[in-house]
């Protein structure tokens, strides 16, 4: 089993700067995932007319076209806000995980699981959502690899 690279430097700050390749790759995957999530949400704007038409159809004439457009606008706004918050959390946790914070690694695992649950909803056929779930799964796996685990364990012992 490869061991976490150690530094001959006696300065703890210099030793802390050595981040395993798995954690660095995971970090950039999380950044990419955040970007993909936002791109996925913005690409849904193309479906706005279709969603409005489906809403009108499902309501069976109970809503006017204007009311259906308002409902769709509210729903899209809520989706944008939720995805934006999750993307920002991905970035915050990615930076903290890169710094060796174990709580951030756990949080990223939980957020990736929540992303998977969201994927199982209405976006399950949306290509960018599928990609987002897959790459966040890879990023989680990298954070739990042996070198990464050792890095996080050593980070606990650092002042």
In angstroms, the CA 67 to CA 146 distance is: 54
pLDDT at 74: 92
For residues 109 and 133, give the distance between their C-alpha atoms in angstroms, rounded to a whole number: 12
Token pair of 53 as six digits: 């038409």
If you average pLDDT over every residue of the chain, what do you get? 82
Q: Does residue 6 carry a pLDDT above 60?
A: no
Tell the residue number behind the tokens 């009108």, with chain if given: 56
**What is the C-alpha to C-alpha distance for residues 47 and 127, in angstroms, rounded to an integer?**
14
What is the mean pLDDT of the segment spanning 75-92? 88
Torsion of Cα atoms, 69 then 71 then 74 then 76, to 10°: -70
* Residue range 89-103: mean pLDDT, rounded: 93
Confidence at 124, pLDDT banded by 50, 70, 90: low
pLDDT digits (tens, 9 = 90+) for 16-36: 558 999 999 999 999 988 887
Per-residue confidence (pLDDT) for residue 146, from 0 to 100:
95
Residue 9 has pLDDT above 90, yes or no: no
* pLDDT digit string, tens, across residues 34-53: 887 788 788 887 888 888 88
Model confidence band, residue 12 (pLDDT cutoffs 50, 70, 90): low
The answer to which of 3-7, 21-25, 70-74, 119-123 has the lowest mean pLDDT is: 3-7
């Amino acid at each position: 089993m490869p061991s976490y690279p150690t530094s001959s430097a006696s300065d703890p700050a210099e030793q802390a700067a050595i981040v395993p390749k798995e954690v660095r790759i995971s970090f950039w995957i999380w950044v990419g995932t955040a970007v993909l999530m936002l791109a996925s949400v913005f690409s849904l704007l193309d479906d706005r007319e279709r969603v409005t038409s489906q809403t009108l159809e499902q309501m069976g004439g109970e809503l006017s076209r204007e009311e259906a457009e308002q409902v769709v606008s509210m729903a899209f706004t809520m989706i944008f806000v939720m995805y934006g918050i999750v993307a920002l959390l991905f970035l915050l946790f990615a930076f903290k995980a890169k710094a060796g914070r174990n709580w951030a690694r756990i949080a990223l695992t939980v957020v990736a699981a929540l992303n998977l649950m969201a994927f199982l909803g209405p976006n399950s056929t949306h290509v960018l959502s599928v990609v987002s779930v897959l790459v966040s799964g890879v990023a989680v796996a990298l954070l739990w690899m042996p070198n990464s685990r050792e890095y996080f364990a050593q980070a606990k012992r650092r002042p």
